[in-house]
Amino acid sequence: MPHIDVELERLREKLLEMWDLVDYQLTSGRDAMMNADHELSQRIIKLERKVNSFDIKIDRMCENFFALFTPVAVDLRAVLAILKINTNLERIGDTAEGMARFVCKLDRPFDPELVELTKVLVMYDEALAMFRECRTAFVKDDPKHAKQIIKMDKALNKIYRKSDVVIAKYLQANPDRIPEGLALLSIIKKLERVGDQVTNMAEEIIFYREAKVVKHRRKKKKKE
Amino acid sequence: MTKKYSKLEAINLDAYYGDFHALKGINIAMEEKAVTAFIGPSGCGKSTFLRTFNRMNDYIDGFRIEGQILLDGRDIYEKDIRVDELRKEVGMVFQKPNPFPKSIYENVVYGLKIQGIKDKKILQEACETSLQQAAIWDEVKDKLDKSALALSGGQQQRLCIARALAIQPSVILMDEPASALDPISSAKIEELIYDLKKDYTIVIVTHNMQQAGRVSDHTAFFYMGELVEYAKTKTMFTSPKDTRTQNYITGRFG
């Protein structure tokens, strides 16, 4: 294998290690949320430091790659994509940490009725599925798969858009559960951000493989 | 590819060294006052192609071409073309600096003297202007009567560029002009190319991909005598269309 490919492979492996760590944060976050598990939430919060060190390490590896290999064409796009996916993974890690901090403030699990009404679990599962599918698309260098992932974000947005009305209604009927309702609203907002961040990552896979810039396209269409 | 004026053009160009088919059906139009880089592995035909623009290959036994090479729309292989006049229009700089064993001044004005210009004032003015254009005036202005061979390699190459500029060509062909130079001298040549394209059409052959990326506006990739891809340099180095181009510029050829 040419030296440049060996170095690129090392970069990809490092990114996938980080991906798995953030996956653990997100997956555990779901359990912590459902069970108001403070101990698990603390573990998720602590992992953020490890995610940050991955972020710095990958940044440095990319910097070295640029300096030593002066990549062009597909190699250049690969490193640019890795750099941006790294940033998005770090932010998803931050988001998971943020959700865990909300869970730490809960003194009991969310009311099952509220969970059902808001569809927060459906949203969580969809966000997790997007996150994992995106990893597969990256491993397989598959831009078609990445395009499918971008479409999945619609489901998250739909739930998010309805969430404030649903929660407001619930709180009117259950005024003693205001902190719980507000915490869940914040978690839903954070899950919506996860969808956006995974979309960004999928767009980078398309850029890397097809040399096409697809980000901001939907906004452009709307303006037209 | 471009709506700008095409200074140089090749139309259905084939070139042969005896039985060897060195260039195959090349079609390309190169923009005026821009830099075009030719890249490709050794033996791909890029230098052969470069040399067709000032008919340097004419001296090679068994060399022949089919098709056309147009300079300002005129076929330079037509029978009534005077090759010496053509070379006034199309200057050339080679890989290895090749100053004459004469003074710096004599090197620069050599081409003008051959043309019969004897007026010292004209020659001195041309010498200064050319050396300034070649970004070497400040380094040699106090030793114009000294031997050109005493200059460093990088200075010698800029002197050769000044010598090419003195006869006021409109096209400059450069065959790996910085490959024998250290990084600082090489950077100076690149800066010079960047400055010269305001007034000249430049075609450069280079094996240095980063150099092609830095100095050229358009890049042509040659492989086994064929022009595989020709595009804006930015496009070639970010999203080349042909797999062979991608493999070459990323160093994965063969």
A71 — contact with chain B (CB < 8 Å)? Answer: yes
A61 CA to chain B: closest CA distance, Å?
19
Find the closest chain A residue to B245 by CA distance: A73
**Among B203, B189, B164, which residue's Cα sits nearest to residue B6?**
B203
* Number of independent structural domains in chain A: 1
Listed in sequence order, the DSSP H helices in B104-217 are 104-114, 120-133, 137-140, 153-166, 183-196, 209-215
Q: How many residues does chain A have?
A: 224
pTM, full prediction: 0.83
Q: Which domain holds residue A153?
A: 3-223
To probe the interface with B, which of A5, A66, A72 has the most B CB atoms within 10 Å? A72
CATH number, domain containing residue A82: 1.20.58.220
Which pLDDT tens digit goes with each residue over B104-127? 999 999 999 999 999 999 999 999
**Among B27, B25, B22, which residue's Cα sits nearest to residue B45?**
B22
Find the closest chain B residue to A5 by CA distance: B252
A166-175, A214-223, B236-245: which range is least confident on average? A214-223
Indicate the average pLDDT of chain A: 94
**Among A89, A72, A80, which residue's Cα sits nearest to residue A205?**
A80
Task: Set out the domains of chain B in order of their start, with CATH numbers.
Answer: 6-249 (3.40.50.300)
Which pLDDT tens digit goes with each residue over B202-211? 999 999 999 9
Chain A, window 200-219: residues with a beta carbon less than 8 angstroms from a chain B beta carbon: 211
Please tell me what DSSP assigns to residue B10: E
Return d(Cα A98, Cα A84) in angstroms, integer: 21
CB within 8 Å: A72 and B239:
no
Q: How far apart are the first and last CA of chain A?
A: 47
Give Cα B125 distance to the centre of its chain: 24
pLDDT at B2: 44
Q: Which residues of A touch B252 (CB under 8 A)?
A: 2, 4-5
| Residue showing tokens 């796009």 | A77
Averaged pLDDT in 10-residue chunks for chain B of 254 residues: 78 97 97 96 96 94 96 95 94 94 97 94 96 94 97 95 95 94 90 93 95 95 98 93 94 76
Return d(Cα A181, Cα A114) in angstroms, integer: 8
Which pLDDT tens digit goes with each residue over A16-26? 999 999 999 99
A75 — contact with chain B (CB < 8 Å)? Answer: yes
B240 CA to chain A: closest CA distance, Å?
7
Identify whether the C-beta of residue B23 lies closer than 8 Å to the C-beta of residue B46. Answer: no
Q: Which ipTM value was assigned to this complex? A: 0.72
Identify whether the C-beta of residue B219 lies closer than 8 Å to the C-beta of residue B233. Answer: yes
Find the closest chain B residue to A77 by CA distance: B238
Q: Which residue has the higher pLDDT, B226 or A221?
A: B226
Return d(Cα A201, Cα A149) in angstroms, integer: 10
Find the closest chain A residue to B235 by CA distance: A73
Taking any CB pair shorter than 8 Å as contact, residues of chain B touching chain A are 209-210, 213, 237-240, 245-246, 249-252
pLDDT at A224: 46
Identify whether the C-beta of residue B16 lies closer than 8 Å to the C-beta of residue B62. Answer: yes
Beta bridge partners of B222: B227
Find the closest chain A residue to B254 by CA distance: A2
Q: Chains A and B: how many Cβ contacts under 8 Å?
A: 31
